[in-house]
Amino acid sequence: MSIGIKKFKAKHIYYLYSAVNGLMFTLAFTLGMVYQVRTVGLNPFQLVVVGTTLELSALLFEIPTGIVADLVSRRASVIFGSFITGVARLIEGLVPTYGGMLMAQVTWGFGYTFISGALTAWITDEVGEDKVEAILLEGTQISAIAEGVGIVLAVLLSMIALKWPILLSGVLFILLAGLMILFMPETNFEKSSDGPISLGLGLDTFKQSFGLIRASRFLLVFALVIFLIGLSSEGFDRLYTPLMLSHLDLNVVDGMGEEMWFGILRGGVLVMSLGLTQLVKHWRTLENSPKLGMILAGMMIVQIIGVLVVANTHALWVFFIAFWMVNGLRQTTYPLQTSWVIQFIPAKMRATVLSMTEQMDQFGQTIGGIPIGYVGQRFTIGLAISVTTVFLVPVVGLYAWLTGMAADKVEVE
């Protein structure tokens, strides 16, 4: 006699995934860049090449894996991607060489593309468009709380060796994949086609999704926004660690090593993210708010100022506060703009279209990363990070433009 295993509610699985993802992220990245600088010995240019390798691999795999999520199963796509992500983290921790870092990024990029688009499409299918924004925001808060635990674990484990937090993050993601096999439901998934799975069918799904983006002015402008943000983000994310190590006096407090300061840096981000997310939840209504684009534009202006402060200050706490603001706003922006764009995508093509918009971010990071890294290597890291804001200034106006388009859609409906 077989024993059936009861599936969990979709939102509870999403919260579990958010918690493990937040824990994994901080375990892998609180001191991950320090690991690459101190243990592996990467210079600023190599750091950016490693990041660009990740984005390039994700760029190449994004569309075919998004098609898999729309044609086969979003649940299976997320589970497989989670397992491969765990394997990537193990490679990074076990092979501390430049080549090992590149191999880990290619593996992670491959795994990540099975999750991006598919996870959001899955939870939207399961709970409905009217409830998904609240769940995405709550997932962000749960992730931030888990990050707090991850920061403490990362600092403690790094005192043994910088590789141990990275290895633990890999094990956790592999365990998460196993739990989702047992408990993750998929009840409202509709394939984008009822025909047999084939290369031709995958290409048809791609063409339909690409045609939808081309036909929608909102989706085209939104894709441009994501591309510009991608151009900026790779340089900032890869270079703030060597900037902090070279520009700031981390011996200002006796007994405080680098590990503790990076833990405080990450901890401040999660506190900021929790606070901003809670503020947004109380401040605005659900997806149809016509002012969302203006809110996002205001958040982007503050981010631009924060990036410039991070790039040019030598004052420890000024650097920290600006960094907390930039990353707290970035984490709060994601669920808002994701729930916004979902309204413009038919359910059957949701994973593929979301993957395409995600691909614009990866395309931007691939193009923008190496030139910014060259500026950092040839001139100064501070100048390189400052240059990244050039790509963010147009985003302010584009968010305002999207606001008008969204308002027109509401009026028509």
Concatenating the DSSP letter of every residue in 95-163 gives --SHHHHHHHHHHHHHHHHHHTTHHHHHHHHHH-HHHHHHHHHHHHHHHHHHHHHHHHHHHHHHTT-TH
Residues 45, 376 contacting (CB under 8 angstroms): yes
Segment among 115-119, 138-142, 221-225, 348-352 with least mean pLDDT: 348-352
Q: Which residue has the higher pLDDT, 335 or 107?
A: 107
The 8-class DSSP code of residue 8 comes to: P
- Per-residue pLDDT band for 363 (boundaries 50, 70, 90) equals confident
Instruction: Determine which helix (DSSP H) or strand (DSSP E) holds 358, and give its type and residue range.
Output: helix 350-378
- How far is CA 351 from each of CA 117, 393, 398, rounded to the nearest angstrom? 5, 29, 24
Within 13 Å of residue 299, how many CA atoms lie on the same side as its CB?
25
Alpha-carbon torsion, ordered 274, 233, 386, 144, to 10 deg: 10
The residue to which tokens 């509610």 are assigned: 9
pLDDT at 209 over 60: no
Q: Which of 385, 381, 383 is nearest to 37 (CA)?
A: 381
- Stretch 8-36: mean pLDDT: 86
Distance CA 120, CA 339 (A): 9
Grade residue 219 by pLDDT with cuts at 50, 70 and 90.
Answer: confident
The Cα 135–Cα 141 span in angstroms is 10
Report the greatest alpha carbon distance in the chain: 70
Rounded to the nearest integer, the mean pLDDT of the chain is 80
Q: How far is CA 339 from CA 54, 75, 282, in A?
A: 26, 19, 16
pLDDT at residue 210 in the model: 60
Does residue 301 carry a pLDDT above 90?
yes
Residue 287: pLDDT band with limits 50, 70, 90? very low
Predicted confidence at residue 310, as pLDDT, reads 92
Give the least confident one: 142-146, 329-333, 376-380, 408-412. 408-412
DSSP-derived letter for residue 395 is: H
CA distance 59 to 126: 27
Give the number of other CB atoms < 10 A from CB of residue 269.
24
Of 65-74, 101-110, 113-122, 297-306, the least confident: 65-74
Q: How far is CA 85 from CA 91, 111, 239, 292, 329, in A?
A: 10, 5, 23, 33, 25
Looking at mean pLDDT, say which of 2-11, 148-157, 214-223 comes out highest: 148-157
CA distance 264 to 285: 33
237-238-240-244 Cα dihedral, nearest 10 degrees? 150
Which amino acid does the sequence have at 112?
Y
Q: What is the pTM of this model?
A: 0.68
* Cβ neighbours of 103 (radius 10 Å): 16
